[in-house]
Structure 1
Amino acid sequence: MEARSRNLPVLAPPMFDKENYQAWAVKMQAYMEGCDYWEAVEDDYEVAALPDNLTLNQIKNHKEMKTRKAKAKAYLYAAVPPAIFSRIMVCESTKTIWDFLKAEYQGDEMIKSMKVLNLVREFERLQMKESETIKEYSTKLIVIANKERMLGTDLSDNRLVQKILVSLPERYEATIASLENTRDLSQIKLAELVRALQAPEQRRSRRLKGSVEDALRAKVQHSSEGKEKKWKGKKGSDSKSEVAAGCRKQRRKIFSMQALCWLVDSGYTNHMTSDKKLFRNLDKSIKLRVRIGNGEYLAVEGRGTVAMKSCAGIKLISDVMYVPEID
């Protein structure tokens, strides 16, 4: 086992670039602990002189303690740029070096308080953009929280959950309403909330992807039809053109039918319909409220899968809300 560890590559210590001292200090301490040299920095023990009548074990321990202190100092020297090295090279011990860097770059309590205040302001002002995903937005909040924690201020996961819930765009309202009816939001974990909010994002992404693919197919079909007409002119009847024309008529029919009771939601969380007959299956236990374009809230009496007839066959649309009050 010992022979194998000697063959493992030794990682270089994390470099300090005069910026973000707190993050570097955490990395450097973890590095020293992993190499078993942190004791030489933290305790700054003295290596006693060797007594007479030494045993082999005493000689070995004495050598290990001296080597540990020397390597700890060498790693600190290697982790700083030349400008900083010229200032710490006169320090006698590793603890003196560590304390100098802490005092020089972390600052006193007043400076730490100002840094914490700036991070709190950044945290409170941050709002989720329309172009962002919930994963990207939550990552920004976690980065700020970790910076505060390194400065000694604890920002709990519960506070992050509250921040996310009050700063989300309107497209997440249906999902939040569902969570309010089924979960205790004061007890929900951050990772669990992020997963729950990712589900409507993924459904929306699939719908948008499908719309793009349909548009591309229609464009290719239109281009092919134009080429056929160019070669065949008006001679006779072209069965392929007739089929394409029939598909286009059918597609127009799909989006025009049920005009008074079918709302296609291309940018938000769910489709909605007031026609109960369209549902292939319907879960009536879902009871929510949704806000429509005019700001009015309507009651949701269930959610299920709707079957629509198209030129390609029966089209199933999942996660459709049953809202009887849609005009």
Structure 2
Amino acid sequence: MSFSPPPPVFVGENYNIWVVKMKTYLQAHDLWNVVLADIEQPPLRANLTIAQIKQHNEDTTKKYKAMSYLQNGVLDVIFTRIMTCNSPKQAWDRLKEEFQELDKTRQQQLINLIRDFENLKMKESGTIKQYVDKIMAIVNNIRLLGDEFSDKRIVEKVITLLEKYESKISSLEDSRDLSAIPLTELINALYA
């Protein structure tokens, strides 16, 4: 039997991060469809084959496994909010309803993060790594809020703000089309 790590635990903060981790965790255990579908298993009928009985038992077990992972994936103070839920979908939806920021709040967060991205400047004493780390922290938060933020836009930002590395960027432009350079390749070239 292989070891399975425990589910990620939601502590009441960073709900969007927990959702991504928990969804992946449930997918890895083949339980995500159980959360999405919310299908109640009908009672067993008479004259079923052994295979049908086995399938019924597996489907019922999956529902309880998914519910167990969700219940164990939250602190006790949050568990009390979902403990009366009868299905994994009901628990998932209740957590979403309570903890996912309202669209208006989410949109405002997105606007603020994009503004932070646009206004970000590299400090004179800063390193490329520090600068790129700040950019990626902002971009990852933007993406967690559901915005499709392209690598091309990040590359453009890196290129336009690295004035003290202008000679390096010029040599890169001579050898590559910077509008098509992958972000990781640009970062590695600048680190070098």
Q: Which range, TM-score by smaller chain?
A: over 0.9
Alignment of 1:39-118 (within 5 A): 39-118=33-112
> Percent identity between the aligned chains?
46
The answer for the alignment partner of 2:186 in structure 1 is 193
Amino acid at match of 1:164: V
Q: Which runs of 4+ in 1 moved over 4 A?
A: none
What is the RMSD of the two structures over their aligned residues, measured on CA atoms? 1.4
* Structure possessing the higher relative contact order (Cα contacts under 8 Å, 6 or more residues apart): 2
Cα distance in structure 2, aligned partners of 1:186 and 1:73: 47
Paired residue for 2:142? 148
Alignment of 1:1-327 (within 5 A): 6=1, 8-170=2-164, 172-199=165-192
Which residues of structure 1 form unaligned runs of 5+? 1-5, 200-327
What is the distance in 1 between the residues matched to 2:189 and 2:92?
A: 44
What is the rounded CA distance, in whole Å, between the counterparts of 2:110 and 2:19 in structure 1? 17
Q: Distance in 1 between matches of 2:135 and 2:170?
A: 22
For structure 2, which runs of at least 5 residues remain unmatched after alignment?
none
Residues of 1 paired with 2:141 and 2:187: CA distance?
Answer: 21
CA deviation vs aligned residue, 1:106-154 (integer Å, no higher than 9, x gap): 1222111011012112212222234433233223212221221221211
CA–CA distance in structure 1, aligned partners of residues 14 and 119 of structure 2: 22
Per-residue deviation at 1:180? 2.6
Report SS of the residue matched to 2:142.
helix
- Aligned partner of residue 85 in structure 2, secondary structure: coil
On the 8 A contact 1:128/1:169 being kept in 2, the answer is no
Partner of 1:254: none
- Which amino acid in 2 is paired with 1:184? D
Q: For 1:196 and 1:165, locate their aligned partners in 2 and report how far apart those are by CA, in whole Å.
A: 12
How many angstroms does 1:74 deviate by? 0.8
Moved more, 184-193 or 131-140: 131-140
What residue is the counterpart of 1:216 in the other structure? none
Q: Counterparts of 1:183 and 1:160 in 2: how far apart (Å)?
A: 17
- Give the structure-2-normalised TM-score: 0.94
State how many pairs are aligned: 192
Contact 1:44 1:94 in 2 (8 A): yes
Stretch moving more, 67-76 or 127-136: 127-136
Using the TM superposition, give the Cα deviation of residue 30 of structure 1 relative to its aligned residue in structure 2, in angstroms. Answer: 0.3
Q: Which has the higher helix share?
A: 2
